[in-house]
Amino acid sequence: MKKLLTFFSFVIIAVLATSCGSTKGGTPTELLTAGNWRLESINGKAVSETEFAKGAPVANFSIDNKITGNSGCNRYGGSYNLNDAGGINISQVISTKMFCEGVSGEVAYFDALGKVNMTKIDADKLTLYHDTEELLVFRAEE
């Protein structure tokens, strides 16, 4: 009986050890929807916090094909579709219209977001393209 109890204890510990790892899913949809993405660059240029009144933009993609986030000034939301070939369509984006003084990055962010049609997704990096032109690069927030 003691050997059986010891065996089951090892099995439970092994299961817990492997299931508690902090790994994101493996499919593009699982990776995309695993959490928030913070913007690092627009059109190949690193994001400067001074271009945004409330910090760098953030995007969140939900499993029900909704995108939400903060554009550095305003909250926004819309829809997206993702296919297995890396194609993505972001549409019906609407945002609040708060005034944020001296903010040039928000306009560039929304312009780029509206052009996106391809994506490359890794566990900690999301790159959005228009065809082969890199538009937006995000890092996963922890």
Contact 86, 118 (CB under 8 A): yes
6 pLDDT above the threshold of 60: no
Q: State the pLDDT confidence band at 3, using cuts at 50, 70 and 90.
A: low
Tokens matching residue 106: 């928000």
Q: Which residues contact 110 (CB under 8 A, 6 or more apart)?
A: 71, 76, 93, 95
Q: Residue 48, Cβ neighbours under 10 Å: how many?
A: 11
- Tens-digit pLDDT profile for residues 18-63: 333 334 458 999 999 999 999 999 999 999 888 898 899 999 999 9
Contact 53, 100 (CB under 8 A): yes
Query: In the beta sheet, which residues pair with residue 70?
Result: 58, 75
Q: Residue 8 has what pLDDT? A: 41
